[in-house]
Amino acid sequence: MFSLISGLTKAAVSVALSPVALAVDIVTLPASSEHPTKGAFDNTAALLKNAGKHVSEAVK
């Protein structure tokens, strides 16, 4: 029970922070486009992948 609540809370925090990460990714878009190894929206993608991981761990 506690792991379900903990996992869903972590996922909710990740989703809540994703607009901030998206804004940072958009602001830094010109600089990140110069680096071929880094994607333009890596921060946002990492947060949303983290949220998915926490949800899947919570519902196990």
**pLDDT, tens only, 4-58:** 888 889 899 988 988 998 998 889 888 777 777 777 788 888 889 999 998 998 8
Q: Would you say the C-alpha torsion 13, 8, 10, 24 has a positive or negative sign?
A: negative
Give me the pLDDT at residue 30, please.
Answer: 80
Give the model's pLDDT for residue 23. 92
Distance from C-alpha of 44 to C-alpha of 11, rounded to nearest angstrom: 14
User: pTM, whole model, 2 decimals?
Assistant: 0.74
Q: What pLDDT was estimated at residue 49?
A: 92
d(CA 13, CA 10): 5
Q: Which domain holds residue 36?
A: 2-58
Helices (H), 1-60: 2-27, 29-32, 42-58
Domain count, the chain: 1
Q: Tokens representing 26?
A: 């958009």
